[in-house]
Amino acid sequence: MEQLLSSSALWAMHPAFLDGMLKRGSLEAMLPEAVRKLASFGTQEAKAADPIREGATLIVPVVGMLGPQGFGARTEYGALADRVREAAADPKIGAVVLDMRSPGGLVWGCAECGDAIFEARAAKPIVAVANPFAFSACYWLGTQGSAFYATHSGDVGSVGVRSGHTDMSGFEDKIGMKTTLIASSPDKIAGHPYAPLTDEDRADIQSSVDESNARFAAAIARGRGMRVGDVAGVHGTGKTFSAARAHANGAIDGVKTLREVVAEYGSSRARLALMRRQAAAMEMATAI
């Protein structure tokens, strides 16, 4: 499925992970189909683990690449949103802990999943833990919870959106090949990879990136109870931060292991205290 994705999609993903994934997908795409099948024989795509109940706490894994259904993501936005909604409506569950270990993923579907997490926290604590990392789209989701922690050796951040363009014309020249595209309108083949990117197409891609990044910043501001203009100064514009530095900046609520968070919010008193702090913070943010 990775072969269907390209740098031209809108990504909210740690650049090192994204570059490695796209490079691997490009190399596989150049292989004959029979060779690709032989190379993948005996391998099976890893699936996200199922949620775990520990007392009144539901631990939901958020791992691997994130994306909508049908794109080979290890954690699908729709499935995660449904799990959070169901847990919020279940009277037997007192709190939900999002066990995060993801470099991020596609922008498509991320905002909707973040909305589901933000809405669910009105019913009960939805606590995110970077265990040990939550980058980009995963960070987007983490900021929508009632509280956001990172484990002691953890890293968070990589806020921002990225897209791109691959110009294959030079490669085709070297192998004596030329692709001619025929379309109903120039817009139908805008930004195609068989010629250099035009200024107009570059501007369109930049506009899409900026629009998605604005939604990212607005989501962080809403989830963390702050002004949009303050988001970059606290959460960065693409850099990653150690757990200690992120906490010092005010980007996360503390440095704790998953086990410590689960133990803390297993207490009804702790859950109630968090809900009260959350309500007070939202009231203060509304007054700003």
> If you write DSSP's letter for every residue of 45-65 in order, what string do you get?
---PPPPEEETTEEEEEEEEE
Residue 179 lies inside a defined structural domain of this protein: no
- Angstrom distance (rounded) from CA 185 to CA 268: 60
Residue 211 lies inside a defined structural domain of this protein: no
**Lowest pLDDT segment from 116-120, 177-181, 243-247:** 177-181
Q: Do 95 and 129 contact (CB within 8 A), yes or no?
A: no
What mean pLDDT comes out for the span 90-114?
97
| Cis ω for the linkage preceding 132 (within 30 of 0) | yes
What mean pLDDT comes out for the span 154-171?
92
pLDDT recorded at residue 272? 79
- Angstrom distance (rounded) from CA 169 to CA 190: 15
Percent of the chain exceeding pLDDT 70 equals: 88
Please, which residues bridge with residue 12 across strands? 105
Confidence of residue 47 (pLDDT cuts 50, 70, 90): low
Structure tokens at 59: 């631990």
Q: What are the tens digits of pLDDT across the range 269-281? A: 877 788 888 777 7
- Angstrom distance (rounded) from CA 171 to CA 29: 15
pLDDT recorded at residue 2? 42
Q: How many structural domains is the chain composed of?
A: 1
* Average pLDDT of the residues of the chain: 88
Q: What are the tens digits of pLDDT across the range 62-93? A: 999 999 999 999 999 999 999 999 999 999 99
- Angstrom distance (rounded) from CA 67 to CA 78: 9
What mean pLDDT comes out for the span 180-203?
90
pLDDT recorded at residue 274? 82
Residue 208 lies inside a defined structural domain of this protein: no
- Angstrom distance (rounded) from CA 49 to CA 120: 21
Say how many Å lie between the first and final Cα of the chain, rounded. 45
Residue 37 lies inside a defined structural domain of this protein: yes
Inter-axis angle of helices 110-120 and 77-89, nearest 10 = 10
CATH number of the domain within which 288 lies = 3.90.226.10
- Angstrom distance (rounded) from CA 130 to CA 133: 5
pLDDT recorded at residue 31? 43
- Angstrom distance (rounded) from CA 201 to CA 187: 9
Domain of 265, in residue numbers = 1-162+234-288
Residue 190 lies inside a defined structural domain of this protein: no
pLDDT recorded at residue 36? 44
- Indicate whether 224 pLDDT > 80: yes
Q: Are strands 57-67 and 95-106 parallel, antiparallel or unpaired?
A: parallel
Residue 215 lies inside a defined structural domain of this protein: no
pLDDT recorded at residue 266? 83
pLDDT recorded at residue 155? 98
Structure tokens at 15: 């650049």
Residue 178 lies inside a defined structural domain of this protein: no
| Per-residue CA distances from 29 to 2, 45, 86, 131 (Å) | 9, 17, 39, 33
Residue 108 lies inside a defined structural domain of this protein: yes
